[in-house]
Amino acid sequence: MEYIIESQLTKIRSIQTDDSFNFLFFSDAHFTSTSLGTEIDVINRINKNIELSCVICCGDILGNSETKQKHLDTAANITKLLIQASPSPGLFFPVKGNHDDNSHVAEHIDNIRHTMLPHEHYDIMFKHLESRVITDKENSNGLYYYYDSSLLKVRYIILNSVDIPYIRDSVNIDAWKYSGQSNYAYSSAQLNWLAHTALSLPDDDWKVLLFTHVNPFLQGMIGADDLAKNSDVLIGIIQSFQSAMKWSSVPTYGDFAQNVQVDYSKGATNRILGLFYGHTHSEQVFFKNGITYISTWNDWPYKPKSNPKAPERIIGANSEICLNVVTINTSLNKIYMTKFGAGNDVDI
């Protein structure tokens, strides 16, 4: 692996210009208490040799644990290691995935006692960012936020596609009505925060990067199982922003009620550099209505059966992990994903 790391570092240096920047992106690591943590060593190495703006894991940072306490302990340990490996001051940006709350354990039976709740999730995995990012003041445990790089004039927006209400099932009070494992959603509070706060940029020269876990649409997606509720509203917001248009959602009601109206008609167009996601365990690139959507192979060393093009994974070999250094050249409108681990480099 040593030669490959050096060779990839050399490649990244060769594509740097005054108009480019880098961040490290990976997804679906499914870390457990027995994970080897090879990723941590490689992230450390990359961070010491390449200027990174941040490290982002696009959800399913954690696998499932037998007990809640074991899950909380694993979350704390992994978060500490990733913070230490990330650019100073601890710029590790977690994204909530559907496995991260541990609600899969005894799902529909008595999973309440196994679940890491949003306030616990925040305190363990997000609190280190408290003074560095902007959250929703009215929903501090929403697990969505943004970070501004004033030097780059880039806003990193982290979304929560598992923003569900944790309410007891009316029949089985020991289980959740909605489980983070199987129910995905964007709340109205989050969508309005995105539309009116996160996408309110300092000026028209600023650009946006979006990150979420669950695939934003289904068409053409390999490995997708479902959509997050209100995904259509998310798409409506970001497409309107990209095209500098007015738009209104069709209001809905119930546990996932939403109502969003936006007017971006006085702003610039083409300010979204890309939307990155995980969940599908597949690497795909889509161009839809002026927006680039990008996913990557799961970091967890398992070859998904849903995608015949998925690379073989061997523990102890280069293919054990899947990390990407994303280099974005704003003047050339190019995105490069340089691989450390499984898969091939991607130029977009």
Look at residues 98, 203, 67, 222 and name the one whose alpha carbon lies nearest to residue 161. 98
Q: Which pLDDT tens digit goes with each residue over 52-77? A: 999 999 999 999 999 999 999 999 99
Strand order in the sheet with 334-341: 92-94, 55-57, 20-26, 322-329, 334-341, 346-347
Residue 311 has what pLDDT?
97
For the residues of 162-216, what is the DSSP string, one character each? B-----B-SS-TTSBSS-TTT--B--HHHHHHIIIIIT--SSTT-EEEEE-SS-S
* Domain boundaries defined on the chain: 2-347
Residue 270 has what pLDDT?
97
pTM given for the model:
0.98
pLDDT above 70 for 2: no
When the pLDDT of each residue in the chain is averaged and rounded to a whole number, the result is 96
pLDDT above 90 for 4: no
Q: Which one of 3.40.250.10, 3.40.50.720, 3.40.50.10360, 3.60.21.10 gives the CATH number of domain 2-347?
A: 3.60.21.10
Q: Which pLDDT tens digit goes with each residue over 107-163? A: 999 999 999 999 999 999 999 999 999 999 999 899 999 999 999 999 999 999 999
The arithmetic mean of pLDDT across residues 151-180, rounded, is: 97
Q: Could you tell me which residues are beta bridge partners of residue 92?
A: 55
- Exposed/middle/buried for residue 48 (C-beta within 10 Å: 0-12, 13-18, 19+): exposed
pLDDT above 70 for 303: yes
Q: Could you tell me which residues are beta bridge partners of residue 155?
A: 148, 208
pLDDT above 80 for 42: yes
- How far apart are the C-alpha atoms of 325 and 8, rounded to whole Å? 9
Residue 50 has what pLDDT?
97
Q: Are strands 272-277 and 207-211 parallel, antiparallel or unpaired?
A: parallel
Neighbour tally for 156: CB within 10 Å: 23
Q: Are strands 246-248 and 261-263 parallel, antiparallel or unpaired?
A: antiparallel
Q: Which pLDDT tens digit goes with each residue over 243-272? A: 999 999 999 999 999 999 999 999 999 999
The arithmetic mean of pLDDT across residues 204-214, rounded, is: 98
Residue 36 has what pLDDT?
80
